Amino acid sequence: MEFEDIRYEIDGPAAVVTIDRPERYNAFRGRTVDELIKAFRLAWADKHVQAVILTGTGEKAFCTGGDVKQRAETGDYGPTESGMFEIGNLHKLIRDIPKPVIAAVNGVAVGGGHVLHVLCDVTIASETARFGQAGPRVGSFDAGFGSAYLARVVGEKKAREIWFFCRQYDAAEAERMGLVNAVVPPGELLKTAKAWAGEAAEKSPTALRFLKQSFNADTDHQAGLSNLAMSALDLFTASPEGLEGAQAFAEKRKPDFVSHVNWH
């Protein structure tokens, strides 16, 4: 299967899925999400794949979320196979695939890219990685898994800090708050992720499947919140306030959200 926005490779027991849009800091458009869904389904169906590694091209960015420049240009994230932006289905697939998903964060993981790594089962970070949210800064949000599940990972207070203030955190601080499992030198990142995948491959795949489903069961109710959030986001991104964030980002200026707010 040919891909344009990602790379899909098999390395021993691991499927390595790499977001390959370095010119956009590995931000995803509609096509990227479609291809990621295909890649995860391939990994699910392949009996030889025991774990999936999700990473980004280069050393600057793991993923910076939705392509805000694309949104500023066209008002959406570009054409897709179904005609819909399938990011909610990608989130569900990362959770549902009955194999461990390892995020190998090679650089900046912000916005929707931050949500992707949070949804992975474990995260290994390069010492140069940085984490944070950008949604409220560019007229976007994830009020589903990206916030509710994040609060389960780092606690309510820290999750609110991450979303309300859009700060960035280095890998060491991310490890201290429980956001990542391990921090390694940049040159060791993929090697370490593959070693972890190898360790998982030595375990009973049926046991790992049931364990993952058990962990997910505790937070599956958040899928309903995620559906609501995605519907709300569709409306919000087309609103004057949402469009202002994308346009300000593209024009490299400070957004004027206040004049667009309707408090009623």
Q: Which residues does the annotation place in the binding site for substrate?
A: 77, 108-112, 140, 252
Q: How far apart are the C-alpha atoms of 153 and 117, rounded to whole Å?
A: 12
Q: How far apart are the C-alpha atoms of 67 and 24, rounded to whole Å?
A: 7
Task: Give the residues across from 61 on adjacent strands.
Answer: 108
Which residue bears the tokens 């695939």? 97
Exposed, middle or buried: residue 257 (CB in 10 Å: 0-12, 13-18, 19+)?
A: middle
120 touches 142 (CB < 8 A): no
Coil/strand/helix, residue 166: coil
DSSP run (H or E) holding 87: helix 87-96
What distance separates the 2 farthest-apart alpha carbons in the chain?
A: 57
Q: What is the CA radius of gyration of the chain?
A: 18
Which of the 8 DSSP states describes residue 255? Answer: -
Residues belonging to the binding site are: 77, 108-112, 140, 252
Cα–Cα distances (Å) from 155 to 52, 140, 165, in that order, read 26, 22, 16
103 touches 47 (CB < 8 A): no
220 touches 239 (CB < 8 A): no
